[in-house]
Amino acid sequence: MLNRPELSDSFANRVRNRGENLAGALIRKGWDLGQRYGSIGPSSRLARGFGAFGDHSVICFPYDTIVNENAISIGSSTVVGRDVGLSAGLVPGHPGLPPDVVRIGDRCLIGRGSSIVGHASIVIEDDVWTGQHVHITDMNHGYELLDLPIGAQGAPVKPVRVGAGSWLGHGVVVLPGVTIGRHVVVGAGSVVTRDLPDNCVAVGVPARVVKRHDEVLGWTSVGPASAVSELV
CATH of the domain at 193: 2.160.10.10
d(CA 68, CA 129): 23
Q: Same domain, yes or no, for 94 and 131?
A: yes
The answer to whether 66 and 49 are in contact (CB under 8 A) is no
User: 29 and 63: one domain?
Assistant: no
Q: What residues of the chain score a pLDDT lower than 70?
A: 1-9, 11-17, 19-37, 223-232
Question: Do 122 and 186 share a domain, yes or no?
Answer: yes
CB 64 within 8 A of CB 85: yes
Task: State whether 14 and 88 are in the same domain.
Answer: no
Active-site position among 135, 141, 170, 183: 141
- pLDDT at site 154: 82
Q: Are residues 5 and 82 in the same domain?
A: no
Q: Give residue 20's domain range.
A: 1-38
pLDDT at res. 28: 63
> What is the count of structural domains for the chain?
2
Q: What pLDDT is attached to residue 222?
A: 86
Contact 106, 78 (CB under 8 A): yes
Read off the pTM: 0.82
Task: Please indicate, yes or no, whether residues 24 and 65 belong to a single structural domain of this protein.
Answer: no
Q: Which helix (H) or strand (E) holds 19?
A: helix 5-38
Q: Is 141 a catalytic residue?
A: yes
Is residue 33 located within the same domain as residue 104? no
| CA triple 82-73-162, angle to 5 deg | 80
